[in-house]
Amino acid sequence: MGFSRRIRLSAEQVAVVCALGELLTVIDEFGTLALVVCASALLALSLRRRLPVTALCATLPATVTGHLLLPSMITMYAVASSRPQGRALWPCGLLFAAALRPWPLSALAEMTRTDLLIALEMAALLSIGPTALGLLARARGETQAQLARLKVSQAREQRLGAEQAVIHERARLARDMHDTVSHHVSIIAVQAGALWAVETDPDKRADVESIRRHGVQALEELRDMVGVLRGSRVLVAATAGRPVLADLPRLAADSGLDVTADLPALAERSWPPVVETTAYRIVQEALSNVRKHAPGASVALSAVLSEDHGALVLEVRNGPAPHRREDAGLPAGGHGLVGLRERAERLGGRLTAQPSADGGFLVRAVLPMVKL
């Protein structure tokens, strides 16, 4: 509850207490008429929020007889603060007439012009005063509600602006990445093609062709990823640029490592595309780590179903390097395994990577069947 609303409710409570205290002004002339009109006026105060117009009408007899004035003023405030301005005018006029009418009616003949002017002023104060305060409170409440909506709208606009800025920055990074990486990879692919054309040794030609083929594949995947980052060609990237489990044998063959593959899961069931892509990237990164840290080591690759047939279990196990590794100058940011764990965890799976007892290394991932 807002501070201004608490003050408003407190002021109403004080006014109700004052209305009860107003009984002390008529206690000496308390009779049947006073009992009826005062009781109905005071009881009507409890209805001022649910039935404000009904409560006002119940307080008018006490105003006409002059026994109590505050109950009608309080209920008039409730009417004006809960109804639009146009619908609050006739209750205000009704209260004005009740406050202006003398009691008893025979007193009208004895009123002088001065008495009539005073009666008009009193009636105006009794009716217009609480009406104006009620309309002001209503307008203030509507203004605060509008300000709250404006704040929400402003926060939403700021959030959308921040998201738009991120999109623009992502597009800029995508352009820079495409321009920089594609330049270097294109040079590698072109030079590999030129070397293949002049090389006569079959083994070397095969190696050069592998370099060229990997360069071309890297350019294609880079183009697809850049299309996603720039918000275009999403459907193309989701299909053409997304590797599948069926590509694992070719990945193992092109890795340049001594890989023994056992992949029964490829033929036993179909997997969601996101699972297949994640599995492929895990194997790809694991084989890259073997080339960096244990070149020449034998590798055992397996992809099987779990015992309950609810998950895909991948293992990439390599033995120790046959000779001491020389630094090839390859970049290693240390984020590869972290990224693999994040990929697996996003699917609700898990990934472990740890040295094995024979001095090699084991990467094991369990990827559940998901539909994302």
Cα distance from N-terminal residue to C-terminal residue, the chain: 42
Tens of pLDDT, residues 50-91: 888 888 888 888 888 877 888 888 888 888 888 887 788 888
Q: Which residues of 221-248 are buried (b: 16+ CB within 10 A; e: fewer)?
A: ebbbebbbbbeeeeeebeeebebebebb
**Spatial CB neighbours of 218, under 8 Å, sequence gap ≥ 6:** 185
Q: Provide the CB-side half-sphere exposure for 229 (13 A, CA).
A: 18
**Per the structure block, which two tokens stand in for 13?**
């409570």
249 vs 217: CA distance, rounded Å: 16
* Cβ 188 vs Cβ 215: under 8 Å: yes
Q: Give me the torsion for CA of 220, 224, 230, 232, rounded to 10°.
A: 120
* Cβ 300 vs Cβ 337: under 8 Å: no
**Per the structure block, which two tokens stand in for 323?**
């000779």
Positions of E strands within 42-167: none
Tens of pLDDT, residues 116-131: 788 888 888 888 888 8
**How many Å separate Cα 209 from the centre of its chain?**
50
**pLDDT given for residue 5 in this prediction:** 59
Q: What is the mean pLDDT of residues 262-290?
A: 85
**Per the structure block, which two tokens stand in for 303?**
């992809």
**pLDDT given for residue 124 in this prediction:** 87
Among 19-28, 191-200, 220-229, the minimum mean pLDDT is found in: 19-28
**Spatial CB neighbours of 182, under 8 Å, sequence gap ≥ 6:** 219, 222, 223
**pLDDT given for residue 234 in this prediction:** 45
Rounded to 5 degrees, what are φ and ψ at 162? -65, -40
| 304: three-class secondary structure by DSSP | strand
Tens of pLDDT, residues 325-338: 554 454 554 567 78
Rounded to 5 degrees, what are φ and ψ at 258? -85, 90
Rounded to a whole number of angstroms, the CA Rg of the chain reads 43
DSSP 8-state code for residue 256: T
Given strand 350-355, what is the order of strands in its sheet?
258-262, 298-305, 311-318, 361-368, 350-355
Instruction: Fill in the amino acid letter for 167.
Output: I
H or E element, residue 365: strand 361-368
Sign of the four-CA dihedral 248, 324, 322, 328: positive
Taking 50 as the threshold, does the pLDDT of residue 371 lie above it? yes
Taking 90 as the threshold, does the pLDDT of residue 317 lie above it? yes
| 322: three-class secondary structure by DSSP | coil
**pLDDT given for residue 92 in this prediction:** 87
pTM confidence score: 0.49
Tens of pLDDT, residues 203-257: 888 888 878 877 777 777 777 776 666 655 444 444 445 678 888 888 888 887 8
**pLDDT given for residue 24 in this prediction:** 61
